């Protein structure tokens, strides 16, 4: 991601001509934090938050992309794996 591509910088650019809006936006961004994250990190956080919100109403909810693995065999007895 290059400088100028972040959502916070795009938002500031949109409000640059309105001093009151720009001040409000700057204050909100300062309160929220302005860490830089790449698109994949933002998407992962969005999906995790969405799943958590849905699970508040439906505990068994899952994402379509969720991957579940079931390990079986003699080394999985008791619910733990032994790495030998």
Which pLDDT value is given to residue 57? 92
Which pLDDT value is given to residue 63? 77
What's the pLDDT tens digit per position in 19-48?
787 778 778 878 877 677 777 888 888 888
Which pLDDT value is given to residue 20? 81
pTM as predicted: 0.39
* DSSP label of 42: H
Greatest Cα pair distance in the chain: 68
**How many Å apart are CA 72 and CA 58, to the nearest integer?**
28
Which pLDDT value is given to residue 34? 66
Which pLDDT value is given to residue 1? 40
Residue with tokens 């505990």: 59
Give 9's contacts (C-beta < 8 A, 6+ positions apart): 3
**How many Å apart are CA 2 and CA 24, to the nearest integer?**
25
Which pLDDT value is given to residue 2? 44
């Amino acid at each position: 991601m290059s400088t100028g591509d972040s959502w916070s910088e795009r938002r500031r650019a949109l409000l640059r001509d309105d001093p009151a809006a720009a001040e409000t936006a700057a204050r909100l961004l300062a309160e929220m934090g302005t860490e830089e994250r790449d698109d994949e990190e933002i998407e992962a956080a969005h999906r995790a938050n969405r799943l958590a919100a849905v699970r508040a109403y439906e505990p068994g909810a899952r994402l379509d992309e969720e991957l579940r693995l079931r390990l079986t065999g003699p080394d999985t007895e008791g619910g733990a794996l032994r790495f030998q």
